[in-house]
Amino acid sequence: MSVLEADSRLARVAATQAGAFTREQAARAGFSASQVQRRLAAGAWVRIHPRVYRHAGVPPTRALALTAALLWAGPDAACSHTTAAALWRVAVIEPAGIEVTVPRTRAPSTAGVVVHRVTCLDRGDITMMLGGLTVTKPVRTLVDLAAVVPGVELAGILHRALSRGLVTRRALAARLDTPGTRGRPGTARLRTLLGTIGSASEGASARMAG
């Protein structure tokens, strides 16, 4: 296979991944280990994370950063916590870093990515967004955030998720009662907030009816 053919094949792969690609994908496209090293040394390719790169002419966008983090973290990883909240547009501020969740059997580490390790990340808790990003669903995102964000911020995120129809009070309450969720850090606080928001909504409805 010629270098031009390898370049073309790799470009097609990178185009579906916001411009990012892995060393393994480069090898499958036809690049040898020495060719990969020469391109990195010459600055034709830029290292984003270990074994994850972009072509030098590809601008470092947020979409590329998110995709690169997932490629680096592995096929079972998903954007989570504040990163997921930003993707669902329920966070006020876009987080500077990237948070991902991976199975506990793995312990990757790289600059700019916060890794959360869990015993099991249920496939039912993950969805794929436009652009191919895997992300925790809104209910799972709220449960994760309950353990790490301040109460006022969590209340705002919960209110926005409810008002935009991303979650329902019933679905979230049911999740908080499941054995795998009950007792997790922050769940009691999330349950209290859910009850408070529900009481406020019911009170507003009653006043309007009156």
Strands in 20-22's sheet, in edge-to-edge order, are: 20-22, 52-55, 45-49
Can you tell me the distance from the alpha carbon of 64 to that of 49, in angstroms, rounded to the nearest whole number?
12
DSSP state of 131: T
Sign, CA torsion 84/86/90/91: positive
Provide the whole-model pTM. Answer: 0.88
Extents of the domains making up the chain: 3-55, 62-206
pLDDT 10s per residue in the chain (210 long)? 688 899 999 999 999 999 999 999 999 999 999 999 999 999 999 999 999 999 999 999 999 999 999 999 998 999 999 999 999 999 877 777 899 999 888 888 999 999 999 987 888 999 999 788 999 999 999 999 999 998 889 999 999 999 999 999 999 999 999 877 887 888 899 999 998 876 544 333 323 223
Q: Which residues in the chain belong to E strands, given as ranges?
A: 20-22, 45-49, 52-55, 78-79, 98-103, 113-118, 126-128, 134-136
